[in-house]
Amino acid sequence: MTHAAAAFEDAYGRPPEGVWHAPGRVNLIGEHTDYNDGLVLPLALPQGVSVAAARRDDGVLEVRSLQAAAAGHRVRVAELAPGAVAGWAAYPAGVAWALREHGVGGASLLIDSDLPQGAGLSSSAALECATALALCELYGAGPDRAELARLAQRAENEFVGVPCGIMDQSASLLCTAGHALLLDCRSGLSTQVPLALGEEWSLLVVDTRAPRALADGRYADRRAECEQAARLLGVAALRDVTDLPGALRALQAARRPRGLLRRSSGPDTAALQRRVRHVVTENHRVEAAVGLLRAGALGEVGALLTAAHLSLRDQFEVSWPQADTAVDAALRAGARGGRMVGGGFGGSVIVLTPADRAEAVRASIAAAYAERGWEAPAFLEAVPSPGARRLG
C-alpha cells in the first residue's frame, strides 16, 4: 500500500479506488516560448504528486493534502466556478470543474507530494494532472492525454487565474523515461528526444530557495508584453517572427511620435524589443539542443543553457539574484552550462555538469550562498522519468 493510500484510509475511513501519480518537470530549454506558440524541451522528474481517490455519490468534491495544515476543502461539483475555491485546493477543484462536461462527479481526494513547492518544478501542474487522471479513470471519462493536458491548462488559466502555457501539463502527462519531450505548443504535436546522461553527465536541479509568485502579476505582465508585440508586428504569435532584425526595426519605428513634437505615451517598445529577441532566439536554441541530443553531443548543450540564462536575465528580465549566483558558481566549478528554469522571479536552476564535477559544483554553489548569507540551496538529480500513471 502506498503512503497516499494509507493516508486516504485514515482520512476517509475506507480504502481508495486507486492511486495516481504525476511527475514534476524541469524544462531543459525553451522558456517563455510556450504561450508564444513556440517550442519547449522538458523532461519529467522522479518526484511528483500522488492522488489517492474514490468516487462519492453525493456530488461533493473533498480534497485533503498531507502537505497542508488545514483539514481540507469541500465543495459541490455542480457549484464549482472560477473564484469559488482559493489556495492550493483551487488546482484540483479547477480540474473537476473542467471535467464536468465529461461526466465527472463527486470524489474524495488525498494528495501527497515529494516535490518542493515554489521551486519552479511544476508542482501545480503535477497536482492537476494526477487529479485529472484519477477523475477520468474513476468516471470512465474519455479525453486522451493531449486533450487532458489542455483541460488541465484551462483549469489553471480560467479557474485558478494563472495564465500558464501548455508545457507543464503536457510534460507531466506525455514524457517518457530516458527522453525529453519536444513539444510544438501551437500544433500540440510532440516527439520523444533521447536524453542519455549515462555515467558521464549529471543534470542538477538547484532549488534556490527563492519562492516563486507567478500569481503576483509579473508573469502575466510578460505574457501581455509578448501579445502586444505580436499585435504591433501583425503576427498571430511571436513564434511567427522569422526576420528578427526586421521585427526589431518595426518595433523601434512604432516608438516614434507621429506628427508630435513631444514624446508619445505609446508602448514601451524598447522592452518589447527585448521580449521579442528572447522568444525568437530561444526557439532557435531549442532546435539546436534537439539536434545536439540526437547527435549524442549532450555536453555541447551546456553552452545553449548558459546563453538561454543570459537572455532570460537581460532580455526577458525574469531572473533573480540567487539564480544568477548559482549559474556563475556552477560555471566556475567546471559545469558545462546552466540556466534558471520556470516562469522566473524565484524557483530553480538547472545545471549540466560532467558527473565527476558534480560534487564540486554543489560545493561551489553552496559556498556562494553562504558568503551572501542566503538560505542554503537544495539539490535534486534530474533523471528523465515516466509521465503520469496509475500506481495501484
User: Beta-strand (E) ranges in 103-246?
Assistant: 107-113, 179-184, 190-194, 201-210
Contact, 102 vs 142, CB < 8 A?
yes
Cell 522538458 belongs to 42
Q: How many residues does the chain have?
A: 392
The DSSP result for 322-389, as a single string, is HHHHHHHHHHHTT-SEEEEESSSSSEEEEEEEEGGGHHHHHHHHHHHHHHHTPPPPEEEE------SE
Report d(CA 172, CA 40) in Å as an integer: 13
Show the cell assigned to 120: 519552479
Cβ proximity of 49 and 125 under 8 Å: no
The DSSP string of 21-43 is: EEEEEEEEE--S-GGGT-EEEEE
Among 58, 168, 184, 216, the active-site one is 168
Residue 328 annotated as catalytic: no
Residue of 232, 248, 320 whose CA lies nearest to 280: 248
Gap between the Cα atoms of 217 and 233, Å rounded: 24
- Residue corresponding to grid cell 511620435: 257
d(CA 305, CA 289): 9
The pair phi, psi for residue 124, each rounded to 5°, is -65, -45
Rounded Cα distance, 174 and 145, in Å? 7
Nearest to 192 by CA among 357, 389, 387, 368: 387
What is the distance, to the nearest Å, from the Cα of residue 309 to the centroid of all Cα atoms in its chain?
16
Beta bridge partners of 313: none
Residues labelled catalytic = 168
